[in-house]
Chain A
Amino acid sequence: LAKTTQPISMDSYEGQEVNITCSHNNIATNDYITWYQQFPSQGPRFIIQGYKTKVTNEVASLFIPADRKSSTLSLPRVSLSDTAVYYCLVGDQNTGGFKTIFGAGTRLFVKA
């Protein structure tokens, strides 16, 4: 499973766009990139998953450059309720199976 590196914490204000970048230099050809969100005292929640270029859903966008050595989670117009820890994970369905190893994550603080 590829190792990921994220900023430990980030601050933002309500209404701003927040971009959290994750480095995964050793990403393998078959690896996908998945982001989870965790609120205090709750289990993580799946946000978005992608392989290359851009993926967008109702919650966020995921930007992946051509070399795939990094990815950026973009949260549009954050609110106070987006304060949480965001985890970036990289893995392969076939070889890694379901096993998921979490890194330290990024603590996002959204201020009023």
Chain B
Amino acid sequence: GAVVSQHPSRVICKSGTSVKIECRSLDFQATTMFWYRQFPKKSLMLMATSNEGSKATYEQGVEKDKFLINHASLTLSTLTVTSAHPEDSSFYICSVGERGPHQNIQYFGAGTRLSVL
């Protein structure tokens, strides 16, 4: 399956700063990538669908001006958490969708743990 690299794995920042998280598809050209966030002991929540060369599609309740997504190439999508606040502290995970013989399969990055002080 697709190999997905996510960077950084962990970031600690001060409140009010912006943080950029990169998601790379190493061996697969991904026209679509996904961004999730996950709080402790909770399931993954889909934030947005990142589309190469076009605007991302955000899930209801996710602020697009807060979480900026750029998918400039078939191998790279970035998520920028702007003016981060402590409530943005979470585990952010990206994924690539690969069409299998029957059903799409998601391949996930290792995740980025964001801690906002």
Q: Which residues of A contact B103 (CB under 8 A)?
A: 32, 34, 49, 51, 91-93
- A51: which B residues are within 8 A, CB to CB? 102-103
Chain A residues packing against B (C-beta within 8 Å): 32, 34, 36, 41-46, 49, 51, 87, 91-93, 96-105
A93 to B105, CA, bound (A): 9
CB distance from B35 to the nearest CB of A (A): 12
- Please, how many residues of chain B have a CB less than 8 angstroms from a CB on the other chain? 29
Q: Is the CB of A93 within 8 A of B107?
A: no
Question: Do A43 and B6 touch (CB < 8 A)?
Answer: yes
Residue from B36, B43, B107, B110 having most chain A Cβ neighbours under 10 A: B43
- Whether A34 contacts B105 in the complex (CB less than 8 A), given A49-B100, A98-B97, comes out as yes
Contact A98 B104 (CB under 8 A): yes
Instruction: Return the chain A residue nearest B99 by Cβ.
Output: A93
Q: CB < 8 Å: which of B94, B105, B113 contacts A41? A: B113
Q: Name the B residues within 8 Å of A103 (CB-CB).
A: 43
- Among B49, B100, B108, B113, contact of A45 (Cβ-Cβ < 8 Å): B108
B14 to chain A, nearest CB (A): 23
